[in-house]
Amino acid sequence: MGDFNLALVIVAIVVCILVFIFNVYLLVNYQHPDDANQAYFPKFVVVLGLSVAAISILMLPADVANRQACRHAIYNGACNLTLPMKDLWLAIYIADAILVFFVIPFAMFYYEGDQEKSVGKRIKSALMWVVATAIVCGLALGILYGIVGKVDFTVRHLSSPTVNFPSTFSDFSSGQPCIGSSFHQCSAYSSSASSEKTWTMRTTFPEYVVALATIVGSVLFSIFGGVGIACLPLGLIFSFIRRPKAVITRSQYIKEATELGKKARELKKAADALHQEERSGSKGRKWRKNVKAVEKELLLLEEDVKALEEMYPQGEKAETTWALTVIGYLGKLVLGVLGLIVSVAWVAHIVIYLLIDPPLSPFLNEVFIKLDDIWGLLGTAAFAFFCFYLLIAVIAGAMMLGLRLVFITIHPMKWGATLMNSFLFNVGLILLCSISVIQFCATAFGYYAQATAAQEIFGHTLQSLRGIKYLYKYNVFQIAFIVFAGLTFVYYVAFGWRKRKPRGRFQLST
């Protein structure tokens, strides 16, 4: 039993080191050349945030393994060699909340500050915004915790008389579970409804902070995750359908490139105008709307340029480039089909296990358990993959809605061309939604993750909090997730196969 936990600790340390190294690798390869050898504090925050998000997801499989360490103990208290998972959960999610609401906003305000100002002024300006946010959040949390920071557990008072133990085993039968011929002497389960009472107790402040952060993340997760679970695989599949079928001629290339050049000059003129407005201090609602519109048009222009380069490869290795393009689209098709299988499995599991009461089947829970029987870490790895897939779906959904509706600032992640503010935005989104992903997975895989510390926090406590429990009682977030996934599926079936038409002349709104 001790060796098992020692091995678990060693594995946890090794995984944390590997996660840190992998996140440094992502940062180095995704960062924009303009951020090379500078912006070290935002880079540190990015690596720390990605590490916390990844470790938080991997903690649920670790929680399951930690529970199994005491599977041979007579009672839970007899095993004192397990990891303090509840304390670790609270620590990781308090760190998550601090990063999301304070550290990342400070890093973004500092990074996006006027470069002509001194470092001290940029720090002062960023601190003012963060302190104001901290005061508002602190007051809101304190007031809410003082008023409704309690959990209401429904309990039933049970009692039963006792009788002497029977002298023969013939007194027991399958049809008579309790002793007695005329009535059930131990029929406490048949107590009246009046025996139900509400047991109220105040939750701890860290658990309440985690709960509220989970609610905020659950709203975003229901929207972005629901959209992303459908658009992630379907986007890859329809990208293959819309792929360039053949190489265009040189005259067609020159014509298309000329039009894109005109569009690029229009965007540059619009960006210069917005920069002049920013320097003059007139950064109102119209200015922010125009900035988002320019960002959207710029992203679409970059996609058009990339598509044109695919249709007319140049250079000495043009044939090789075209072959790699064809292979790339085949790879998208394969990944899209595999992703569609995972997405369908997720949606089916939510309906079968969460929305239907009682559940029709444990479904994926049984799959993970059977995989664990084959090899100890196989089910855990599959479980972690399904959780990570939800996080990737959240990012995909945020990108799609940001591009289509422009109600959030677009921060695309591009290999070798991602600025730190885009990195910080996406890390904040991942961190905020990772809490909800874990809570969602702890609920969806409750049979597989039963008796874990995560279930105690995200199951019993969270789903019994006063004022919040009804959101979970009536499966509001799960239903919203399925609805958004269905709407996105209908959208792709209706419009996904169409190629995007070139937009006309771009103008700023007045």
List phi, psi (to 5°) of 499: -80, 145
Read off the pLDDT of residues 5-18 as tens digits, 9 standing for 90 and up.
666 777 778 888 99
**Each residue of 437-479: pLDDT tens digit?**
888 888 888 787 776 777 666 666 666 777 777 787 788 889 9
Stretch 412-419: mean pLDDT? 76
Q: What is the pLDDT of residue 347?
A: 93
The residue with greater pLDDT, 434 or 232, is 232
Confidence of residue 509 (pLDDT cuts 50, 70, 90): low
Confidence category of residue 331, pLDDT binned at 50, 70, 90: very high
Judged by DSSP in three states, 148 sits in: helix
For residue 343, the model assigns a pLDDT of 94
Which pLDDT score is estimated for 314? 81
Residue in this structure with the two tokens 């369908």, named with its chain if needed: 344
Evaluate if residue 106 carries a pLDDT over 70.
yes
Q: What is the pLDDT of residue 78?
A: 44
Q: Which two tokens stand for residue 63?
A: 């929680």
Domain boundaries in the chain? 2-152+206-239+323-496, 248-311
In this model, does residue 326 exceed pLDDT 80? yes
The burial of 422, by beta-carbon neighbours within 10 Å (0-12 exposed, 13-18 middle, 19 or more buried), is given as: buried
Q: What are the pLDDT digits (tens) for 114-153?
A: 666 666 777 887 888 788 878 887 888 888 888 877 777 7
Q: What is the pLDDT of residues 252-267, one digit of tens each?
A: 888 888 888 888 888 8
Strand-pairing partners, residue 465, are 151
Between CA 205 and CA 464 the distance in angstroms is 15
**C-alpha distances out from residue 364 to 135, 350, 367, 371, 477, Å:** 43, 10, 5, 10, 20
Average pLDDT over residues 179-194: 53
DSSP 465: B
> Above 60 in pLDDT, residue 76?
no
Helices (H), 407-498: 420-444, 453-455, 469-473, 476-495
Place of tokens 């039968």: 173
Predicted confidence band at 170 (pLDDT cuts at 50, 70, 90)?
low
Q: What secondary structure letter does DSSP report for 241?
A: H
Euclidean distance between CA atoms 410 and 402, whole angstroms: 6
What would the pLDDT profile of 265-313 be if each residue is shown by its tens digit? 888 888 888 888 777 766 677 777 777 788 778 888 888 888 888 888 8
Give Cα 426 to chain centroid, integer Å: 11
* Burial zone of 343 (CB within 10 Å; 0-12 exposed, 13-18 middle, 19+ buried): buried
